[in-house]
A and B are shown apart, each in its own frame.
Chain A
């Protein structure tokens, strides 16, 4: 395994030069002949009855080709809870509610038409806080639903938490909260819907789920009475996903509806403001945690209750508890666990999948509480984590089969890098670990991915994969795996992932699964191709098939290296002889993992990724400002297929995590987003990068392609608690709400010092007047 020539190489992304020189074609660059421009009118209220919509002036405007409102469209319900029509009728439930849409010959006309639509609203009492929304007297967001609490009971319980609690030597209990943040993809969302003469549909869209989007679009076709028509999804180059494109959005269905009515292709392209307002956030959460250990510091139980602000509609955000369960039950060994989460409708924006899928929120609570528990037990926080670390070859009580586990090694690596040294006043070090799915995640009926391959007469390979490259480098990693298997050069592999008419099925680019699942799928197809090559070569070279190896575009006998032939030559020989053949292969890989059962137990993933992060910070005690001096993020990656891209994933994840920890927040005021721009939404800039070291451990997992585990999400999972723990170490205050702003730190410091009660109470967020 160590004689690898392509796997393990630091190969720059195959499309890096295309992107850097502006040649890559994003949705912004795509136009079709005769294409119209669509625009959506959003609600002016957080909660209101729609009394009347007058579209007459918009319809009369020259250049307008279609105008639609919620009453003009068939019944279409988006999302996991089927509560979200693409255009709303009757009432609006949030500021991002789509009320009407137009298609016009150009963008200017479309914008003008939107301005000409007059909507009369009757404001309704609204609710913006999930705890208030749970009360009996709270206004109902969906009347037909009868309650604001979703019928999605997330409940996990094993062992005996009450008994463990009574036995515990040390217990900590706390409340943490995580707020809205958003993906901030550099490429804003957009799509083009195009019907042909027979009403077959093509949608060009930024999506991470081409196959499931295709299913959603087929649903919309069916609603339009076009039951037997086809839906084709073409992905242009995607400028970032991070989970934001894991569900279909209203604008995609609206574009289809407009195109159907206008009989022309329709493009809807978001600007940055619309991207902030009309795409989804990370799931916010209020998290109560009780955690206890015995006298030796061994964890005895974990008891967590959460309330999730679902917003007005339901997308994947509401299902993040399924992944939160992973760290809750299995980050460190915990024999007794109870977890319950409620999703509650409010008149706020609604959440989606976002890198980590609930794991960063849950890990913030767990790892902050781990630190507090270590302090209470009088054990060094690093030692406390070592005592409780998971190990390989064990099954956690939730049923996760941990195959390989490098957690202890990661803890050591980080402690070694950050521990010791003289510490100045106001400086501190904090640690936090993570567990995440690393070998797919069976959250759908299938966790599979298909690959088709064909090789030409020169040994060049076209590879059609279900996977989605959205900037993370899936194409490059897949090409490396296949090049390794077939003895090719990386440039011999052409990965095509852009079109559902061409590419096989895949459940989507989520759960850090692409390297693992699409990689195994590509490897499966490559092995078939390899055996075909070996068969031919065995005949041509007259050697035993076992004796053949492929390397550097050559087919060679191991025993007698003089017996060799150039791969292309071999293929041409085979192709251009009587009864000749072409080299083609197909493979569908669906991992042998399990859906969570009704008790939420089951082996969700083929393998699990572990890691530990550590931060050294300096806290300005007069301003509350936190500066990160050094950051170390160690991960058990199975095997680094491409260390360059791997480090990129970790650096990017950590920077996203630092933003989550310290600066980022979608600020909602009574349901309205107050900062829909990069001026006031504080995503970190290149200037804000900190020194990050990203060491990795290779545990070579038997199930992974060449031993690899998924590493897309982990970089941002334990970042916030590592920083929060470092702040505690530095100045003795524990901030329990994200983001950890200087205001919160300073208020906590003042409270601790007892010299002043002015400022924000970091727990209740109540603002105390400083003047009185």
Chain B
């Protein structure tokens, strides 16, 4: 492992300018659970690691009562998200995802922003967020900009982040009434696992509790980047949500998934899983809407 100098800026501007002055030789580090492995495996060899851990930005989650949007600081650890009663109650899809990332030790350190910026096709954090139409807030030398999270990912390990830019916040817009959401990581073991396939789904029903008024289907490890199953979404929207239509939506999603063979799993099996798990997540969303209604 190549040695590096560890820098600890205290403002975003300081971080960005440090990056600029060491351009090409620096990398940002937040939780470090991905960056340090890359350094150890000599995939990157930065001379400077610029820590984002000392910038006094609001770590954690905040619900804006005016806009009804959820603001998640990019520097929030998965463990904070997992233990947040707000996330657990109102954003179950995110709770489903973060509670099974790595181990407790990793979740105590790894951040949601790091999970997104690392941009592996298997990132568990990304799928719920694209499924909820989240927006990424990015800060760099040219100031702040926003990108819809679904357009944030360009390829494995590649994002729209320009050199020196920092992902600072993820904003989740409000969902309609009668919305349920769910995520499943399908893996071979229960911890320290990357998904063989990840499926997130968000479903909003009409007052009749049957007709789908909004649907989002997010797939992980089904393409080089997190994707949405647009054809399946189009099929389901406006239709009655039944076991049969969910199964069909699953089949459509399976057809549009761009799965491939890897040492972790074969394409045909991933495609099978897309069909089965979309169907199951749809049913779980529906159940969560019903349960929610019966509580309120």
Contact = CB atoms under 8 A, between A and B. Distances in A.
A679 interface: yes
A687 B268 contact: no
Interface in A671-715: 674-675, 678-680, 682, 684-688
B271 interface: yes
Nearest to A621: B276
B263 A675 contact: yes
Given A623-B273, A674-B263, A675-B263, A663 B188 contact: yes
A687 B191 contact: yes
Interface in B252-274: 263-269, 271-273
Interface band, chain B = 20 to 34
B266 to A, nearest CB: 6
A742 B271 CA distance: 13
Indicate the member of B190, B191, B271, B272 with the most A CB atoms within 10 Å: B272
B191 A685 contact: yes
Contacts of B192: 678-679, 685
B194 interface: yes
B241 to A, nearest CB: 19
Given A623-B273, A623-B276, A742-B269, A667 B191 contact: no
A768 B268 CA distance: 9
Query: Chain A interface secondary structure, helix, strand, loop or mixed?
Result: loop
B89 interface: no
Given A623-B186, A685-B190, A687-B191, A667 B268 contact: no
A534 B191 CA distance: 57
A760 B191 contact: no
B189 interface: yes
Contacts of A669: 263
Indicate the member of A669, A674, A682 with the most B CB atoms within 10 Å: A682
A685 B190 CA distance: 7
B191 A686 contact: yes
Nearest to A683: B189
Contacts of A667: 263
A667 B266 CA distance: 13
A752 to B, nearest CB: 15
Contacts of B276: 622-623
A482 B186 CA distance: 51
A669 B272 CA distance: 25
Contacts of A623: 186, 272-273, 276-277
A400 to B, nearest CB: 38
A684 B273 CA distance: 22
A758 interface: yes
Interface in B237-255: none
A300 to B, nearest CB: 40
A454 to B, nearest CB: 46
Nearest to A623: B276
Interface string A600-622: 00000000000000000000001
A685 B189 contact: yes
Nearest to A684: B189
Nearest to A759: B268
A770 B255 CA distance: 11
Contact of A680 (B186, B263, B272): B263
A743 interface: yes
Interface in A701-747: 741-743, 746
A61 interface: no
B273 A680 contact: no
A280 B179 CA distance: 53
Nearest to A675: B263
A223 interface: no
Contacts of A80: none
A30 interface: no
Contact of A767 (B189, B266, B277): B266
A421 B283 CA distance: 30
A713 B189 CA distance: 24
Contact of A743 (B103, B191, B269): B269
Given A625-B186, A680-B264, 15 more contacts: A674-B263, A682-B189, A685-B103, A685-B192, A688-B190, A688-B191, A742-B188, A743-B269, A746-B272, A758-B268, A759-B268, A759-B269, A759-B272, A769-B268, A770-B272
Interface of A: 622-623, 625, 663, 667, 669, 674-675, 678-680, 682, 684-688, 741-743, 746, 758-760, 767-770
Interface of B: 103, 186, 188-192, 194, 263-269, 271-273, 276-277
By Cβ-Cβ distance, the 4 closest A-B pairs, closest first, are A687-B191, A687-B190, A770-B268, A685-B191
